[in-house]
Structure 1
Amino acid sequence: MSRTFIERTDSDGIAWLTINRPEKLNALSTTLMSQLSKKLTEVDRDDSVKVVVLRGIDKAFSVGYDIAEEVELGVSTAEQWHSGLTNNVGLTMQVWGLSKPVVGAVTGFCLAGGCELAMACDILIASDDAKFGEPEIRFGSGPVTLLMPFLIGQKKTNELLYTGDTVDAQTALSLGLINRVVTSEELTETVEAMARKIALTPLTILRFTKRALNRAYEAMGLKDTVNSNLDIAAVLNSAYSVEREEFTRLVASKGLGAALARRDERYNSVDN
């Protein structure tokens, strides 16, 4: 029996889905993603649910895809990467395409694939200790589900994705990446109040409203962009670089912590 990483609790038409893998800061393993996908399907089909809340643990919404697992599996060719990344994109776009509004509650780290998962939510409320970004370029990878340009525009997206910088909650708010910043103590209450307000609307109306909003972004090319980036990301992740080779070697020999420490060491002199 595999461990349960996704907890569901329901209250007054709101389904709370909690990602619970604290020892790995909610890294998105294949098992975790499969469980989350199944829970999303359940709540989407459950007519007693009007709003879904997606949240993490105190220290992290999610730090992204499980790099150690990818190294252990030996993913290397473009074909292998395309297969794996298709699953990753599929989960993020499942959140995006859910027929009901999804409110994301973010504390702590919200990085890489975890940031993409959060960006797919309809509304994002973060605690003041939250950190957002896609730092994967710093070890030779790149964004998997390219949603950021549609949320914050070209110039800031370019800066964040070229540098791998992260931003705090207040900066994320100013960029339009999130809706609101509150203290950690206020987060659950604020998210619940938002979800309850949304849940006052009839489910049929919520579904058609979300469909209309999603189609507006799809008309701007969101789905085509995501699908095109998937193909490019498979090639990008299989491309050779000295930095990527060193990172992968360190993960395999000394663990992910050592690899991340080496990555951060390279950028310490230029980070503010």
Structure 2
Amino acid sequence: MTYIRTEVNEPIATLTIDRPEKLNALCVELMRELHTALEAAEQDEHVKAVVLRGGQRAFSVGYDIREEVVNGISTAEQWHTGLSTNIGLTMKVWELNKPVIGAVSGWCLAGGCELALACDLLLATEDAQFGEPEIRFGSGPVTLLLPFLIGQKATSELLYTGDIIDARRAQALGLVNRVLPAGELDAAVERLAQRIALAPLSILRYTKRALTRAYEAMGLREAVSANHDIAAVLNSAATPERAEFTELVATKGLGAALAWRDERYRDLE
């Protein structure tokens, strides 16, 4: 694989997102590889727990915006088809029949944040940064998990403003289980995974099924499906902000587009 490294030390499988030059942006090929790696870990009867991690600079900054621009995705129908892949990957983590521990350092944004939130447990370093800043350039969340994890008020604040929060605030909101110094993350994740793996695999599977079904009984899967339809329309909406952002990505690169996006908010931070 090009973008995913898999290491299996029974009873733990560690999947590492490895596209550091793009801060682990989720391109189509990376998502395909990660889905395949998750399937393999799920089918391996010797694996009881899965660790999903990124690099030191970023877990993932989200979907590869430049790839979307280059591919010319613009209509609601095109967006709906493309978003199916994005949602499918996040929900694969959510519904995997084994516990998934997310290990986050650095940036964890947009679709990357959603991928992390789909993990059963989340450990982060003190420098981790979480957020879904899509509204700042005329987009929105793809897999709507936040309302079920942190409630209405905090979700509204984060999604309306696109603000990015640090690891301590994320922990206070209930997004993160533990915050650790950078040098302690790997050992803490390993210990937690080993403790989980002491339980019988069949019991872990049924326990995870019970937990995911509890949230789905609250409407999580219906909300994700409904948001899929809305996100397709939202992403195809013609707004001056989205047009300017897309033009900058195409002509000057993603860095220039992100700088323009953030400059608009700088005086209000």
TM-score (normalised: structure 1):
0.98
Q: 2: distance between equivalents of 1:258 and 1:34?
A: 28
Letter in 2 for 1:46: D
Choose which of 3, 16, 19 in structure 1 pairs with 2:17.
19
Residue 80 of structure 1 aligns with which residue? 78
* 1:87-138 superposed Cα distances (whole Å, 9 cap, x missing partner): 1000000000000000000000000000000000000000000000000100
Residue 174 of structure 1 aligns with which residue? 172
Q: 1: distance between equivalents of 2:10 and 2:197?
A: 8
CA RMSD of aligned residues (A): 0.5
**Matched residue of 2:179: which SS?**
strand
The answer as to 2:60 corresponding to 1:62 is: yes
Q: 1: distance between equivalents of 2:61 and 2:8?
A: 26
Q: 1: distance between equivalents of 2:103 and 2:54?
A: 7
Choose which of 230, 234, 237 in structure 2 pairs with 1:236.
234
Letter in 2 for 1:197: R
Tell me how many residue pairs correspond in the alignment.
Answer: 269
Q: 2: distance between equivalents of 1:67 and 1:240?
A: 17
Residue 49 of structure 1 aligns with which residue? 47
Choose which of 79, 82, 95 in structure 2 pairs with 1:97.
95
Q: 2: distance between equivalents of 1:149 and 1:175?
A: 11
Q: What is the CA-CA distance between 1:11 and the residue it aligns to?
A: 1.3
Q: 1: distance between equivalents of 2:216 and 2:260?
A: 39
**Matched residue of 2:56: which SS?**
coil
**Matched residue of 2:50: which SS?**
strand
* 1:1-28 superposed Cα distances (whole Å, 9 cap, x missing partner): xx61000001130000000000000000
Letter in 2 for 1:222: L
Choose which of 227, 230, 253 in structure 1 pairs with 2:225.
227
* 1:194-240 superposed Cα distances (whole Å, 9 cap, x missing partner): 00000000100000000000000000000000000000000000001
Residue 31 of structure 2 aligns with which residue? 33
Letter in 1 for 2:114: E
Q: 2: distance between equivalents of 1:10 and 1:129?
A: 27
Q: What is the CA-CA distance between 1:85 and the residue it aligns to?
A: 0.4
Residue 265 of structure 2 aligns with which residue? 267
Residue 130 of structure 1 aligns with which residue? 128
**Matched residue of 2:93: which SS?**
helix
Residue 112 of structure 2 aligns with which residue? 114
**Matched residue of 1:196: which SS?**
helix
Letter in 2 for 1:36: L
Residue 205 of structure 1 aligns with which residue? 203
Q: 2: distance between equivalents of 1:221 and 1:25?
A: 33
Q: 2: distance between equivalents of 1:114 and 1:4?
A: 18
**Structure 2 unaligned blocks of 5 or more:** none
* 1:227-256 superposed Cα distances (whole Å, 9 cap, x missing partner): 000000000000010000000000000000
Letter in 1 for 2:88: G
Q: 2: distance between equivalents of 1:5 and 1:266?
A: 33
TM-score (normalised: structure 2):
0.99
Q: 2: distance between equivalents of 1:32 and 1:11?
A: 23
**Matched residue of 2:92: which SS?**
helix
Letter in 1 for 2:83: L
Which runs of structure 1 show a deviation greater than 4 angstroms over 4 or more consecutive aligned residues? none
* 1:170-189 superposed Cα distances (whole Å, 9 cap, x missing partner): 00000001100001000000
* 1:148-187 superposed Cα distances (whole Å, 9 cap, x missing partner): 0000000000000000001000000000011000010000
**Structure 1 unaligned blocks of 5 or more:** none
Residue 184 of structure 1 aligns with which residue? 182
Q: 2: distance between equivalents of 1:62 and 1:218?
A: 26
